[in-house]
Every structure is written in structure tokens, then in C-alpha cells.
Structure 1
Amino acid sequence: MGSGGELGLGSGATYPDLRERTVLVTGGGGGIGAEIVRHFARQGSRVGFLDIDTQNSERLVAELSAEGASVRFATADLSDIEATRAAIGAIREALGPISILVNNAAHDERHRLEEVTPEYWDSRMAVNLKHQFFCAQAVAGDMRALGGGTIINMGSISWMIGQGGMAGYTAAKSAIVGLTRSLARDLGPDNIRANCIAPGWIMTDRQIELWLDEEGEREIMQRQCLKRKLVPADVARVVLFFASAEASACTNQTYIVDGGWV
């Protein structure tokens, strides 16, 4: 990693308008989601997050609470829409009306074409796409009452680069672009913005443990314009920008954070 990349990882902007705003992050217990939670908490936002991983989520709450942050966690299997609605209600009750939603949760499980059943396909849609719509539906009323808000849907470059070996995941992630554009059009009159952020290969613990090897490192250095590994903070900083008033005219867009791979 070059010195410019190292310096960039240690810096960050402050957005005063994010203070005291209530943020909901799905899949906030680990990986990119946890870094998004940290970044909002350190802006002074009230942050609620949903995750199925209780242990790591409680550890994150303890870490940020020790820093004086206002953070709440609710357990939810996001493929269960009624349970997800209840968890969002618990966050709302604890922290107030939600004005920022980050639909981050996903699962990039690999699968062979020949082995996919209708039930498995439906499960990939449920864990990667369906909850994004229903979370947006659940918080839209809050945002209208507040006079506006912002929805950030996490996509992926996997479908853009034609990645194979996980058709359910890439299909769901491509559909998020269409979902985002529909939400932006429907909610724009209420001053609610909707954008999609499409990360590249981000070095979360899961990615490092399961997929990164010498061949993968060579591919990163060959395909990215930036010759360094990307980390969750690279994505979190972009999320903050699109959530803030600095991006008040930005909606209906997909922004790629991939070091120049696409």
C-alpha cells in the first residue's frame, strides 16, 4: 500500500448536520456494516443497527458506548419481514424517528448453477434484496414526517464485472439499482433521496478468511487502478457523504467504490 492510501485511511470529514440524526443500518454487526455504524456514531448520530450476530453486535455496542456514542442493536433475521419490522420499531422507540437508512445487509454465498433449487434461489433474494424494499417502506413515514431523509442501498460491482459462481447474489445486487431508482422517483416529492453504493472487493474479515489468496491479490493489483487493498472505511466515508446535506442534490444514482476496477 502506498503512503497516499495509508494517509487516506486515517482521515475523515465531519458533517455537522449528521449530529443527533437517527440512523438505521442493516447488517451492522460486522464487516462494512460495522464500520458504517462506527462512522455515524463518531459523527454524533444516534445509530441503531440490525443483525443476526448477537455476539459481535453486542461487542460493537460496548465499544461505541464506551466512547460516549448513542448506539442501539436489535436482533433480526432480515429474511423474516415481520421480525424486521418489529426490530425497526424497537430502534425507533429507543432513538426516535429514522431519517437515514443504510440497507447494507447481504450474503455473498457461492453456489453452483446445477445445485440451485427454487427454495435456495428464493433465500438469496430474501437475504440480499427483499429486505431492502421493506426496510425502506418501514421508515418512509418517519422521513416524510421529518420533512425528508435519505436511503442508501448497498449494491455490488459483482454483476457489473460479470462475476460467476453466485448467480443469485449477482442477480439480487443488480436489481438493487432498479429498486433504488424506483424509490428515488416515488419518494423524491417528499424530499427523500435514494442512492445506491456499489463496493468493489473490500477487505472485510470474511473476505480475507474465505476468498483472499495469492491469486486474488494479484487480480486486485492487476484490475484496480489504485494499487492497494480497499477496506470498510473506504465505503463508510462515501456513505457519510451521501447521507449528509453535502449530497442534498444527489438522488437516483449509483456510485461505485472499487478503486477503479470497473
Structure 2
Amino acid sequence: MMPSAQFTDLQGASVLITGGGSGIGAALTEGFARQGAKVAFVDIAEAASTALCEHVEKSAGIRPLFIKADLRDIDALRAAVAQAIEAHGPVTTLINNAAFDERHAVEDVTVDYWDNNQSINLRPHFFSAQAVLPGMKAAGGGSIINFTSTSFLINHPDMPSYTAAKAGIIGLTKGLAGHLGRHNIRVNAVAPGWVITERQRELWVTDEALAAHVAKQSIKQIMQPEDMVGTCLFLASDASRMLTAQTLIVDGGYL
């Protein structure tokens, strides 16, 4: 369920979301559009992203801008940011959401695999922030929200490159926050627990595993992609104007 709160300062704001075409990203795209924001999102999946644009236009009355790009290609990422700025004005909220949580065994990881994994799960976070920085400075401030994960906090055993990247995002968040605060740019991280997206259901969810996980949460409900929206709206709005360099864990109280 989408949050009921309205943040009036987000109306007309220029918002850019990476990986905004499915899962948590799709919920964020819709959630910010429902606030009246001008939303652009970058994704590589064309069919799903186009369908999302149709859905959001019907539900929110605002059509988001889909920009197809492979975030591993930094030139393509920079071009995508430029396209979003041309369409909607300087980006004042950037959400680095894109990720690829593929399982991999320590014994099987090659140098090429490691570099490719990091080029999806960590590297774009820095270069997208770098690309929106001039516009945020000119606008007098902004909010950068980096998605990390609780996976590295619970010692997840099956994706060491991914968990390394997700831990690195917190370091990046704090470093950027320290540097950009003088420009009224806030940088925070969101660490979701087990959010049950369609991808999770297709690949890893079993009734037994899900029940066991929810049993360890303080709030005994299955987390949905929409449950990440309210946190990001708060971090994007002036309601959190003095909050920076923080990691907000949204996991139903699992940790």
C-alpha cells in the first residue's frame, strides 16, 4: 500500500531513479509520481518499463520519463542524467536504487565477474551523484538516497561481491555527505530487509523460508516494495532537512 502522507515540497520536483522499472524501483517511481513530482527513471528492461509508464499515468495522472540505459556504461549513465535534466530541470532528488543480487559462490568468482558485479551494484552510485551535482548546487541543495541492503549485516553467505558493494555504499554515502553538506545536499542510505518483489518470488521465496523470516521480524507482515516508498519520500522532502550521512534500516525490526 502506498503511503497516505503528502509532501507538498515534492510537487513539481525533478526526481531521478535508477532501476526504476521494476521491484522497489517501480514502487518508488509510482510513489513519487503520486506526490506530483516529475519523475525520470533509468532501466534496461524496455517492455516492463513501458508498461510501468502506462500504469503510473493511469494511477497518478503523471507519466514518468523512461530512459533506457545500461548503468555499467558510465557514458550512457551520464547521457541519461542529462536527458532527465533536459526534460525536468535540475535533479533535486536522486535515488540510486539499481542492483543485481545474483547468487554466486566464493570459489567461482573471477576477476571479470567481480568487476561486472561492482559495475552494477556500487560504481553507478558515485557517477550518478557526480552527474547531478552541478544542478543540485545551482538549485541550492538536494537529496541523494542510496539503496544498500541488510544482506551484509546478516552475513549472507551466497553473494560476497554483492554484500561487499552494499557495505561500500554506506561508506560512499558518508563520504559524499561529508563533502556535499556545504552545498545543502543531503546524502543518506536506505537498507531494506527482505522485500518480496516479483523477482524474489520467482527465484528464492519458499513458504517455509518466508514464514521463518517474518517470524523474526518485530512486525509480523511480509514487506512489499511499497513499504520502501514512505522512507524515501521523507528523505527527499524538507521534513528531513538536517538528516544526512545516515543509514535507515527498513526491515520490519528483523535486526
Q: What TM bracket, shorter-length normalisation?
A: over 0.9
Select between 154-163 and 84-93 the one with higher mean Cα deviation: 84-93
The one-letter code of the counterpart of 2:68 is T
The aligned runs of 1:184-195 (5 Å cut-off) are 184-195=177-188
- Distance, in Å, in 2 between the alignment partners of 1:83 and 1:221 is 39
Q: 2:24 maps to what in 1?
A: 32
1:105 matched to 2:98? The reply is yes
Q: TM-score, normalised by structure 2?
A: 0.97
Matches within 5 A, 1:74-223: 74-223=67-216
Preserved CA contact (<8 Å) 2:118 2:165: yes
CA distance in 2, matches of 1:99, 1:184: 15
Q: Distance in 2 between matches of 1:211 and 1:108?
A: 11
Contact 2:42–2:66 (Cα < 8 Å) also in 1 = yes
Worse-matched range after superposition: 212-221 or 242-251: 212-221
**CA distance 1:25–1:113, change in 2 (3 Å):** same
Displacement after TM superposition at 1:70 (Å): 4.2
Letter aligned with residue 26 of structure 1: T
Q: CA deviation at 1:65?
A: 2.4
1:48 to 29, 40, 51: 40
What residue is the counterpart of 1:248 in the other structure?
A: 241
Using structure 1 for the length normalisation, give the TM-score. Answer: 0.95
What corresponds to 1:57 in structure 2?
49
- The CA distance in 1 between the partners of 2:154 and 2:29, in whole Å, is 28
Distance in 2 of aligned mates of 1:205 and 1:179:
29
CA 1:220/1:184 → structure 2, altered by over 3 Å: closer, same or farther? same
Gaps of 5+ in 1: 1-8
| SS of residue matched to 1:177 | helix
Identity %: 46
Residue 98 of structure 1 aligns to a residue whose secondary structure is coil
1:13 aligns with 2:5: yes
How many positions carry a matched residue from both structures? 254
Match of 2:15 in 1: 23
Are the equivalent residues in 2 in contact too, given 1:220–1:227 (CA < 8 A)?
no
Residues 1:218 and 1:62: Cα distance change in structure 2 (over 3 Å): closer
Runs of 4+ in 1 over 6 A off after TM superposition: none
RMSD: 1.0
> Aligned letter for 1:31?
G
1:31-67 per-position Cα deviation (integer Å, ceiling 9, x unaligned): 0000000000000000000000000111111222234
